[in-house]
Amino acid sequence: MTNYQVVWKGPVQKSTGLGTASREYAVALHRQGVDIKILSSRRSSSPSLITSLSNKRYAANKPKVLIHHGLPHQLNWAKARRTYDYILLNTVWETTKVPRSWFPSINLYDAICVPSVQNKTALRNSGVKVPVFLVPHGVHTRTFTPRNRKKPLPFRKGTFIFVSVFTFQHRKNPETLLRAFWEEFSATDKAALVIKTSGFGSRESGAWIRRRIRTYKKRLNLRKITAPLQLITGYTSPRSLKGLYTAGNAFVLPTRGEGVGLPFLESLASGVPVISTRWGGQMDFLNDRNSYLVSYQLKPPALRMKQAISRTFRPLFAQPGQRWAEPSLSSLKKQMRKAYADPTLCRRKGAQGRSDMKKQSWRHAGQAMKQAVEYVIRNKKRKF
């Protein structure tokens, strides 16, 4: 056990991708022998490692390191500096520059951990001066595996199935995904698209998402019968999600920006290749051997927001100087058609992705974060 204690402040109870990452980082540190306590406002008596770490007491006579997993300006600095000897930020961002609201607080941290090269570049280009460490996400290859039972889907045998998993927001680019599929594949193709998605809050229900998509399709004025689309908008169990990946022949998401993209990692670990944008945090592990990469241009995020069919988060993503990727519609259609036309190549790319993900472990993430913490302890004076 380390001679310092890490106190983890993050959304470990949330079922989102951010919540998953928060839990995995905390557990990875614990498995590296770090004395770690989780700050959690939600008490639980259910037996789990997260519960045990949440119920743990503060260590006596040890330096305390706070890791704040979230937005930099959401920390009570006066209280934090009275309580902790060192303070690190663990965060993520999806455009070329971080929001202005992150300053000046972001430069008050002793160090920052980010999960991708794109993130590190964005922080430096935005004016971040403190040390920035690369701490990548991992994936459990025993959980996400090609052996997982396929989720039953209502398509005829031999249908090539494109799968997509994302929250229904403009950054994920549902417009380009839907348009590419509808324009490229007709009812004469043995192809289908399955989208697992959800909105934000009770207003953005499954019915609301379906209405938005139907209205968008009418607006495109397509002159053919398109290949089938299935939307999954309700709760999906972890078992069902694992089976959804393996039911697909290819995973597709023409995202405009990702800090990492957990579904990409999960899909590749499941032996399913990815079709996605050639820019963003996912490019740390996507390549031409395991994926079909879509060309793009860096554009101001506000450029396409008027045509959005999903929530835009304009105050965050439409600030001066920000850019993100606008994937090429024609390139996306070409890559989807390429995957459809050659299932053997798809399987080969998927097998390569599976092999690549065996190196993308949470153990490595825990090692990298522990190294960042110990760098700060060695090189920074305690701040009171």
CA 68 – CA 85 distance, rounded (Å): 13
CB atoms within 10 A of CB 196: 21
- For residue range 14-72, what is the model confidence (pLDDT) as tens digits? 888 899 999 999 999 999 999 999 997 665 555 689 999 999 999 999 999 999 999 99
| Block residue for tokens 């090609």 | 146
Per-residue pLDDT of the chain (384 residues; tens, 9 = 90+): 899 999 999 999 888 889 999 999 999 999 999 999 999 766 555 568 999 999 999 999 999 999 999 999 999 988 999 999 999 999 999 999 999 999 999 999 999 999 999 999 999 999 999 999 999 999 999 999 999 999 999 999 999 999 999 999 999 999 999 999 999 999 999 999 999 999 998 899 999 999 999 999 999 999 899 999 999 998 889 999 999 999 999 999 999 999 999 999 999 999 999 999 999 999 999 999 999 999 999 999 999 999 999 999 999 999 999 999 999 999 999 999 999 999 999 999 999 999 999 999 999 999 999 999 999 999 976 443
The pairing of beta strand 250-253 with beta strand 296-299: unpaired
Whether the predicted model's global pTM rises above the 0.75 cut: yes
How far is 349 from 289, CA to CA, in rounded Å?
A: 6
Please, what are the domains in the chain?
5-138+362-381 (3.40.50), 160-359 (3.40.50.2000)
**Torsion angle, alpha carbons of 343, 345, 347, 351, to 10:** -170
d(CA 163, CA 297): 24
Contacts of 149 (CB under 8 A, 6+ apart): 243, 246
Closest by CA position to 301, among listed 281, 276, 321: 321
